[in-house]
Structure 1
């Protein structure tokens, strides 16, 4: 794993979001987004839900509502997210914006007092079955906020918040899904593939086999048998399933071991 410390970025990402939300009229708040059945106001409510659940859980130790009988994690998350969004339709956009403004710094304080190398409050299931370090849990939460802001911006044709400083940590966090995407591809120790992301926020990474699993690194790889190159916009949309794997492959350049390339372009960095 490649440790990240995204904690200083939360206020910057939130400032861009609040600046955008403060410029919207009532029609823009009602604009449909890529999230099925959710308008801009609903995605905003979902972000607020994330703030409140994290404060309640991480800071206050509140367990929240449990799973219904026989409910899977994806079904559970879909249900509770939709319940909150439905309830927040009673609240005005200004009220939601005020709550984000109030609660954001409180959440920043939670991250600031979290030991990044300690155990996560919530494991990141899409990054593997081992215990998640707190820094990856926090980075995952940053990607959640950033992606939802981009979904709002896409709906409004209002690009932004995509400077390399804000965007590259999202891309690197999503690349931590690669070892899981490749886990069924057993190769001899030292076998490697490269993953290049083009664009100002991009870079090049290696994924190296130890014979039983894979590790993400920035170190140059020797026995490279496959490579994937895609642009930064394609990568974040693929990882969050804003586009399909087939659409991503059509936009990407793949070379070498077909099975490895096919598996790598299945990377998924959300619970689905």
Structure 2
């Protein structure tokens, strides 16, 4: 289910995604910048600081030095920091927190301008070259699709925190969602403990409406169709599906928005264990 786009089209969508984040936060006053987000320990400010940190890292920049007037935080002790990627993310966020929202937005725009220039100067060989990413060794182009997904997810985090509505579908959403759903079969089998032979259908409505069919045959994989009726069909809006998979909310808080047909025990176990993103 890995969609391929030419380099120019994918870079354009990533650029649009950066603009979408800018549009959400540009009107904010300092108080609104500090609105808690769905991510543990992070405000809207922190979400944008995280995006800055990752894009700065891709430019070869290092985190700012620690401000000696502030108490130094050992980010490894934070309960939501579970791996080395999260450690690096948290260092960037912590070091940028002393800035005002306005200064953070200025830094965001500077970093994004530099990233756009770097991507525009990149040739096909660099785009296809293997590189280290949070999901392992992949091509740089694939990594940029991961970046699109990450920034799209954080746009939703910011919008949810602010009570704003954004377009979750369209070309950006479609490409980000294509990256997102790659992790669903594994979480269905591992965390959801779907048994051998299970046929699972997620019937999604909303901006990213589609039916995802997963069959467990040795491994859990997507299939175009089942030869027999689904073991379980789970109906929900794509917006809720994304937030469950992203660990932004829990199924128990949305039982009236989820309908399960067939094996209800399996269905309830699956929706309760959908979270899998970093």
Specify if TM > 0.5. Answer: yes
8 Å CA contact retained: 1:11, 1:104: no
Measured in 1, the distance between the counterparts of 2:81 and 2:3 equals 26
Shifted more, 239-248 versus 100-109: the winner is 100-109
8 Å CA contact retained: 2:187, 2:276: no
Deviation string 1:13-55 (CA, Å, 9 cap, x unpaired) is 1111222332222332233323333332221111101112233
Measured in 2, the distance between the counterparts of 1:258 and 1:26 equals 46
2:14 corresponding residue in structure 1 = 10
Superposed displacement of residue 83, structure 1: 1.9
Superposed displacement of residue 213, structure 1: 0.4
8 Å CA contact retained: 1:42, 1:85: yes
8 Å CA contact retained: 2:247, 2:275: yes
8 Å CA contact retained: 1:45, 1:96: no
2:38 corresponding residue in structure 1 = 34
Give the secondary structure class of the aligned counterpart of 1:206.
Answer: strand
Give the secondary structure class of the aligned counterpart of 1:56.
Answer: coil
Measured in 2, the distance between the counterparts of 1:270 and 1:36 equals 14
8 Å CA contact retained: 1:171, 1:235: no
2:275 corresponding residue in structure 1 = 268
In the alignment, does 2:150 pair up with 1:144? Answer: yes
Superposed displacement of residue 90, structure 1: 3.7
2:194 corresponding residue in structure 1 = 185
2:64 corresponding residue in structure 1 = none
1:158 corresponding residue in structure 2 = 164
Give the secondary structure class of the aligned counterpart of 2:158.
Answer: helix
1:79 corresponding residue in structure 2 = 87
Superposed displacement of residue 123, structure 1: 5.5
What TM-score, normalized by structure 1, do the two folds share? 0.76
The equivalent position to 2:60 in structure 1, one of 56, 69, 91, is 56
8 Å CA contact retained: 1:31, 1:156: yes
Residue 198 to residue 124, structure 1, CA distance change in 2 (3 Å) = same
What TM-score, normalized by structure 2, do the two folds share? 0.74
8 Å CA contact retained: 1:111, 1:138: no
The total of aligned residue pairs comes to: 248
Measured in 2, the distance between the counterparts of 1:119 and 1:174 equals 21
The equivalent position to 1:172 in structure 2, one of 175, 178, 181, is 178
8 Å CA contact retained: 2:3, 2:178: no
Deviation string 1:188-233 (CA, Å, 9 cap, x unpaired) is 4xx5322121013221121123x2101124x222222221111021
Measured in 1, the distance between the counterparts of 2:134 and 2:41 equals 28
Runs of 5+ consecutive residues of structure 2 not aligned to the other structure: 62-75
8 Å CA contact retained: 1:181, 1:263: no
Residue 2 to residue 255, structure 1, CA distance change in 2 (3 Å) = farther
1:22 corresponding residue in structure 2 = 26
In the alignment, does 2:239 pair up with 1:226? Answer: no
Runs of 5+ consecutive residues of structure 1 not aligned to the other structure: 58-67, 126-130
RMSD over aligned Cα atoms: 3.2
